[in-house]
């Protein structure tokens, strides 16, 4: 599909501005209070190239939480499906594990679930298996 050159420039400028916003919110400790918007997956990629792994880990955790909790643009099933096609597997595994843990312990805080991010990154198959196990346990208990 042909896209006018000006549209690509405007999109790149929007992504750069949103990446700046992510960095500032992260530095202020308020990233988790931000709701995801269209295009944040592309911003994640830009931020990764610009700022490196430390910022990426925080943004990935934020995106996984937003996806699991259906926040912002992720309220719509189509948006969650679109995000799933753009995010790397560890973020998706993290989101799945968070969703199951939140069903198990609804009032658990994000800081209490930080190990889910580490597990999803270091052992994605184990995290996926744990999420499936928790979903099965929940359905059998119902």
Q: How many CB atoms lie within 10 A of CB 120?
A: 27
The length of the chain in residues reads 142
pTM, two decimals, is 0.81
Which residue is it, tokens 């911003």?
A: 43
Residue of 64, 141, 138, 67 lying closest to 103 (CA atoms) = 138
Greater confidence (86 vs 4) lies with: 86
Kindly indicate the confidence band of residue 23, based on its pLDDT and cuts at 50, 70 and 90: confident
Is the Cβ–Cβ distance between 63 and 36 less than 8 Å?
yes
pLDDT tens digits for range 65-121? 999 999 999 999 999 999 989 999 989 999 999 988 888 888 877 677 778 888 888
Q: Pick the residue with more confidence: 48 or 35?
A: 35
How confident is the model over 42-67, as pLDDT tens digits?
888 888 777 666 778 888 889 999 99
| pLDDT value at residue 30 | 92
Domain spans, the chain: 5-141
The answer to whether the CB of 64 falls within 8 A of the CB of 120 is yes
């Amino acid at each position: 599909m042909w896209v006018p050159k000006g549209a690509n420039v405007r999109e790149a400028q929007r992504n750069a501005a949103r990446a700046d916003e992510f960095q500032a919110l992260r530095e202020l400790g308020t990233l988790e209070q931000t709701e995801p918007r269209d295009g944040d997956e592309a911003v994640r990629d830009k931020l990764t190239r610009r700022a490196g792994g430390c910022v990426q880990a925080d943004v990935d955790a934020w995106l996984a939480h937003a996806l699991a909790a259906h926040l912002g643009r992720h309220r719509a099933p189509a948006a969650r499906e679109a995000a799933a096609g753009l995010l790397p597997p560890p973020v998706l595994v993290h989101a799945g594990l968070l969703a199951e843990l939140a069903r198990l312990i609804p009032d658990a805080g994000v800081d209490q679930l930080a190990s889910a991010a580490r597990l999803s990154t270091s052992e994605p198959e184990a995290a996926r298996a744990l999420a499936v196990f928790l979903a099965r346990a929940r359905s059998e208990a119902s």
